[in-house]
Structure 1
């Protein structure tokens, strides 16, 4: 009987910034300018590293991937942010909302793994300068990048599958400018304990086991 009285949600309203009044245009212009600069800088890094032989070093390759993840993350969130400013909120489908969050989570996870790999690269360069070029060769760099992407995608798919099991009913508004996890879970009428537990475990894996990730790289990929 309770389930029959529930209305399943198919659309989410992002409230964004409310009551901006005269600050709407200046704030929109500021965020748009920051976004354009972010896109230009990241595209410039990607193009320069790809086109210049002098920049074909391991660290620059990692910086190129970092620029790519930053570009994907900002392009995933900022357009919705700009819409919420102009229209005092925006309506998106529930599936789009979940996709936006998972893309954001994937890019953030990738950035964490890349930073760990870059720290390992600097460790090798400082502690083993004579063996640096043999340890951090092109094959190893490619494997490190692919491993980082693979781990990020696996974590994202796992989170996606957990969120897909939830049911959303009655509440349709999120007081935010994009579909972040906490406000999204607050809309759910299902038990979100296991989703929160899974997210916490992912944070532990990403935040605490990154040194172990570097050790894995050191012992497994230098051969």
Structure 2
């Protein structure tokens, strides 16, 4: 029987966005700028909700968790990409790759769950306002978020453990800017059938169930809004809900195209562009869509700004 000599791979090479160094640096600069906007916007949201007691409600509790997840979500991939570009190394260790994969799957799942919970929260507030405080009580909200974190971590751990048991003995070049499931599975010289089955059997329900729940919640919300007498009230409500749904469709549409399309249809360029949309663009848009158009959030942000200005003025006078 012929014996084959395999070289055990200890690190991967992340090709990034382009083979051109100049294009790679320009795109990295662009996405790093978007990353800074994402971090700044979401940190301000967390700070505003934490400091303003009037925002201590279920809706803003979920929003602060979404902002925190968006910070962690983009921080899982973008800093590594920037470091690789600046140092011209493009490498990541095998353990580092699995760690990135684990946290990325955790945060991307938590993002979808929180969007679902927030849609349900709006459904209860608009369609059943008299029962809102009983249904969305603080104790239930905390338990719900804690339970979702547990589910996402176990799901991420399942994929990470299965990936760790695969053999990588051929190419170590990943046609992506971070360690994602499909690009790694394409590099493995092991049988990845079971891994792909898990993506569809476990991953599909976890991804599609929140998406369906969001759509159902907004269908009921739209029908309730249609009963509103004020034309101005209808316009404002439809504008807000339409913005929320556009972000949801952008996030889910691109993610589903990457993970649940047939293997034969995978294209590295298309997958990278889709990953940029749900990994970088969507977390950057969330603060603008969910917060900066909100009257209470604007008031809280202005209060923080006034406090910071007063503190700076007092400090200057004391000096």
Give the TM-score normalised by structure 1.
0.87
The residue that corresponds to 1:28 in the other structure is 28
Q: 1:199 to 1:62 in 2, by over 3 A?
A: same
The residue that corresponds to 1:82 in the other structure is 82
The residue that corresponds to 1:217 in the other structure is none
**Pairwise CA RMSD:** 2.1
The residue that corresponds to 2:290 in the other structure is none
Quick check: 1:166 aligned with 2:170? no
Q: Which moved more, 1:157-166 or 1:86-95?
A: 86-95
The residue that corresponds to 2:149 in the other structure is 149
Gaps of 5+ in 2: 215-319
Q: Residue 17 of structure 1 contacts residue 85 of structure 1 at CA under 8 Å; is this kept in 2?
A: no
The residue that corresponds to 2:120 in the other structure is 120
2-side partners of 1:8 and 1:43: how far apart? Answer: 41
Deviation at 1:27, TM superposition (A): 3.1
* Runs of 4+ residues deviating >6 angstroms: 211-214
Deviation at 1:204, TM superposition (A): 2.1
Deviations 1:111-152 (A, max 9, x none): 111111112111111221011112211101101111111111
1:45-64 aligned within 5 A: 45-64=45-64
Could you say what secondary structure the match of 1:209 adopts? helix
Could you say what secondary structure the match of 1:114 adopts? helix
The residue that corresponds to 1:193 in the other structure is 193
Larger Rg: 2
Give the TM-score normalised by structure 2.
0.62
Q: Residue 17 of structure 2 contacts residue 27 of structure 2 at CA under 8 Å; is this kept in 1?
A: no
Q: 1:153 to 1:129 in 2, by over 3 A?
A: same
Q: 1:147 to 1:212 in 2, by over 3 A?
A: farther
Gaps of 5+ in 1: 215-223
Deviation at 1:87, TM superposition (A): 4.4
The residue that corresponds to 2:298 in the other structure is none
1-side partners of 2:24 and 2:184: how far apart? Answer: 25
Q: 1:8 to 1:25 in 2, by over 3 A?
A: closer
Compare relative contact order (CA 8 Å, sep 6+) and give the higher one, 1 or 2.
Answer: 1
Deviation at 1:85, TM superposition (A): 3.3
Q: Residue 171 of structure 1 contacts residue 187 of structure 1 at CA under 8 Å; is this kept in 2?
A: yes
Equivalent residues, number: 214
Q: More helix by proportion, 1 or 2?
A: 2
Deviation at 1:203, TM superposition (A): 2.7
Could you say what secondary structure the match of 2:92 adopts? strand
The residue that corresponds to 1:182 in the other structure is 182
2-side partners of 1:55 and 1:3: how far apart? Answer: 66
